[in-house]
Chains A and B, each alone.
Chain A
Amino acid sequence: MNPVNYLYLAALLFTIGASGVLLRRNAIVVFMSVELMLNAANLALVAFSRLHGNLDGQIIAFFTMVVAAAEVVVGLAIIVTIFRSRHSASVDDASLMKL
């Protein structure tokens, strides 16, 4: 097996995650789909690292993880705040600029 298959898997996971972002209305699930996409990207980066025999890909993946963690913290805080004011976690309910 060629490690390129990891890349195909990453592409597949990324696409599934993107579809989840587009199809789901629950903000948390949307967020999870975003995480899925990030992970798919990480997988691709790790695979590249191996393909090229270079650790840079892993370092980028590492940074992605850190940034994703920060993103999750802020994003979930936003979801909680929106849920507090709207009593709904649906992204479609937040379709207006004001409450």
Chain B
Amino acid sequence: METLIGLLVAAPLLGAAVLLCGGRRLDRTGHWIGTALAAASFLLGAVLFADMLGREAEDRTLSQHVFSWIPVGGFQADVAFRLDQLSMTFVLLITGVGTLIHVYSIGYMEHDERRRRFFGYLNLFLAAMLLLVLADNYLLLYAGWEGVGLASYLLIGFWQHKPSAATAAKKAFIVNRVGDIGLSIAIMIMFTTFGTFAFSPVLESVGGTSEGTATAIGLMLLLAACGKSAQVPLQSWLGDAMEGPTPVSALIHAATMVTAGVYLIVRSGAIFDAAPAAQTAVVTVGAVTLLFGAIVGCAKDDIKKALAGSTMSQIGYMVLAAGLGPIGYAFAIMHLVTHGFFKAGLFLGAGSVMHGMNDEVDMRRYGGLRKYMPITFATFGLGYLAIIGFPGLSGFFSKDKIIEAAFAKGGTEGWILGGAALLGAAITAFYMTRVMLMTFFGEERWRNAPTPSPKEPSVEPAAETGGEYEVPHPHESPKSMTVPMIVLAFGSVFAGGLFSWGEAFVHWLEPVVPFEHGHPPVSALTVTAATVVALLIGVGAAWLQYGRKPVPALAPRGSLLTRAARRDLLQDDFNHVVLVKPGEYLTRGLVYLDHKVVDGAVNGTAAAVGGLSGRSRRIQNGYARSYAVSMLGGAAVLVAATLLMRAV
């Protein structure tokens, strides 16, 4: 069984190699190869899962040592895999959702001439992500971590002919680098402290080190998680990453890669347990991000960016839960899985809508689409109900537990975190209802040509419509796109209930992820009731705003907060002022220094030599008589010297 673990990674890696190196002759079959290998990986995962279920709970961890990677003295880095319940969950999520999105992409990318390359990148992503979750040590995890960063970069910039896509890819890559530095520093600290970076020895011996070391490692890991999972303050890349094709947004920037940070925190739970300060930082980041993303999501008119804000917010929930310690780890992972289902479904739905609307992304140009694309409406609607936490659907179970756990943190901290989570739930309900209403209900605003937008810098520019306005003909997407959406909708509906049935998920994870029952200051039922109330308030407010009144086809100017939220709460401006500007001034200063001091010294030396040479050249005038004067002068000096020597 152990040998199958390597194949999990190898299958999509082989697909990537074949597709990227195979050249044009694979253009016709490439997408099938890619999908088949993704599916093979999923089947392998399923076989391993069945095998794992057949064993005792304590005996379920499998490990495979493939080869020694970097054996240098005390530095031993192995390519070794570890498949336990936590990894298994991720493997199933990644390969499952990944396969579905492969299938979806067959239809979505049908008219793109670089489809083969796209599937190659998708397979590369799968391989890297599987490497990340299956790694047995932090260094191999780091390799996968960088691999998904690379795949993310390639896929965001897949339509590189668009400058915005190229810029977004670059931005994502650079912001991720900042986080990656955190991970590499964390690994270095681990190595100097423990002499190893394999999971088991590190996590077992972390309790014995000083709290300061643990805090340092924890904060560095948190930095890494912030970068990869788009948490404040490294969140700015996620909105722009929506420039990539929609399946990419669904797979990488909703379901899997962005959750790698949560995986990292949960996997390193022992470190955070030993460092309360780092844990506080984690929950703070989570709470801030969940509100931040939710507020941004409320203001965006671009359907994908609204969903991106939502993703940010939901991952904020997960990070919050992961920061709560044993009372939250399991729920973080549970929410991660359910979120993987419904957010992927929502993104695929959004892609389906765009597919039928000539790639229009501005929700103000939608409206009343439920008649034209019923399947998309139904699946999107189920995903919507799941994300807002409608009782009985997946999101309800996972999110409610997180809110409960947040209150259970205890003390003032617990109240603040719980309140934030509750507020986030209300806002989530608001913006998702807004998306729903603007897209599928109301009048059909796409029938009229867009009026030129007034000069308002804060308005999100609508998709460019060149010249004549072509009235779109909304239609349902092909089967290859709708089937994955339906499957994901099933997941959105039932996964939560299934997991919570007798706390099945928690117990499944418990051998790997420690679990404690949280004890909120109020009863669990009260928390659930409060959550439902918050949800109803959010939905009601959205209905008042967007359901009852017609939605203007052009965004109104909006309040100060709205305008700020449209600009991603000024995060780019903040980065510009705090990071870019000082950098520019520094480089300018360095350039000035280089010109004036370094070049000045060099040029000054050259000028001095040149000037001296120019002067001394005049001595060499070519006249033999001048030279003769020098000779006679020299002779005179010699005579004088001789006489002096004699005198002395």
Contact = CB atoms under 8 A, between A and B. Distances in A.
Interface of A: 18, 21-23, 25, 30, 91-92, 94-97
Contacts of B615: none
Contacts of B623: 91-92, 95
Interface SS of chain A:
loop
Contacts of A91: 623-625
Contacts of B625: 21-23, 25, 30, 91-92
Nearest to B621: A95
13 contacts: A18-B632, A21-B625, A22-B629, A22-B632, A25-B625, A30-B625, A91-B623, A91-B624, A92-B623, A94-B624, A95-B621, A95-B624, A97-B622
Interface string B612-640: 00000000011111001100100000000
Contacts of A96: 622
Nearest to A21: B628
Interface residues of B, number: 8
B396 to A, nearest CB: 98
Nearest to B632: A18
Contacts, number: 22
Nearest to A15: B632
Nearest to A92: B623
Nearest to A34: B628
A24 to B, nearest CB: 8
Nearest to B629: A22
A96 B625 CA distance: 13
Contacts of A21: 625, 628
Contacts of A23: 625
Interface string B584-626: 0000000000000000000000000000000000000111110
Nearest to A24: B625
A23 B625 CA distance: 8
B633 to A, nearest CB: 10
Contacts of A25: 625
A92 B621 CA distance: 10
A91 B624 CA distance: 7
Contacts of B632: 18, 22
A22 B622 contact: no
Contacts of A94: 624
Which 5 residue pairs across A and B have the least CB separation, nearest first? A95-B622, A91-B624, A95-B623, A21-B628, A18-B632
B65 to A, nearest CB: 78
A94 B621 CA distance: 11
A62 B627 CA distance: 29
A92 B622 CA distance: 8
A22 B621 CA distance: 15
A25 B625 CA distance: 8
A23 B623 CA distance: 12
Contacts of A30: 625
B638 to A, nearest CB: 14
Contacts of A18: 632
A21 B623 CA distance: 12
A47 B625 CA distance: 30
Contacts of B629: 22
Nearest to A91: B624
Contacts of A92: 623, 625
A30 B624 CA distance: 11
Nearest to B624: A91
A91 to B, nearest CB: 5
